[in-house]
Structure 1
């Protein structure tokens, strides 16, 4: 189990959100690893302070800076440790807290909802032989891969007029719309694809889920993610995003 996975269990424990399986896993960790018991105590201490005493952004930043100082003081022996005025912990806890901070990146400060940019990886467009005989195909490949999605939208509109059933055009056209925050238009394109049987079916479903995520429609995003099958290219990413939305 990675440190991140362990601290995710700690997080759920503090929120009283452990599943039966999670509880069994945590119990096993605490039974087999004495250090994990100390880490959990520290995590509970930090959680308690954050949850009860630090309600403003300024207060949270002060605590975050303080935790970074703990890590710096513990791992850099040339630095004179500074006294903290924000939290009080037993001396034995500082080494463990340093590990929590450095290994986990102050996890509980990043408990906001996931964002589109966290998960969106734009696939490269390759028009292949089409670009050799069609000027618009050559141009759309160039501008799309350069991130000029407005120009790509215009080229795809032209290409789809000539070849409306081309699913490659449709898929990348949908992405060009999504990247410009043209959500409704992108949904129309992606829905048509994932309700069909083309090779872009589940890729379109993934990007429609990202479309919902970008609009902070988390419930509908999760609903779409659950429809992505295990053999789909984006299944693992979909599961990771579902876990973040849980």
Structure 2
């Protein structure tokens, strides 16, 4: 089965380098979905002419606004469009309440999503969800623990896309990325710059077994040192095609 991934945003929380917040659009003949839905996602979908109505599922790694804040605008767009088909949101426990709170905070007293058929599927750590047309495995990672951070391993057909989410280095990433067709790994810092995120100086010492590694969520320091980075670096708008085996 042919699978394609479009990078809607690969920036950090501060849109370093003018990059949009994190979101990846994965399309296949059987299912279309987002991995993360940062605050700028609706803008990116319209920029790349991807109809919101084509998206069947949204998978969220953790509860920081640059990874889930775009859900509010996506859902309000679908309300405006009178969407009838269900939208599935796969996420950490409690995301449904966070979305309700965010809608009320952004548009107090004026908006309700009750017209939409939103179906939440929650995951915990080391859980496998065998959903229709897709399998999702969750791995606990090391980030702000209040956000319930997870890395995600998504299988579509015979293709595996692994995604670190936001995290400092953890050995969970070995199993997460093992033999994945693509491992999208956050790399916020170039040198060791602080907790909660991976640095390039750390990542380059690890022996990963993924077939392809691509860095994302890069801060200004990483971008300033791009010429000396040996790994592939994501770019907004990039398309990665996985041909049929």
Q: Which has the higher relative contact order, 1 or 2, with Cα contacts under 8 A spaced 6 or more apart?
A: 2
Establish whether TM, by shorter chain, passes 0.5: no
- Give 1 or 2 for the bigger CA radius of gyration: 1
Please state which band the TM-score falls in when normalised by the shorter chain. Answer: under 0.3
Structure with greater proportional helix content: 1
- What TM-score does the superposition give when structure 1 sets the normalisation length? 0.25
- What TM-score does the superposition give when structure 2 sets the normalisation length? 0.25
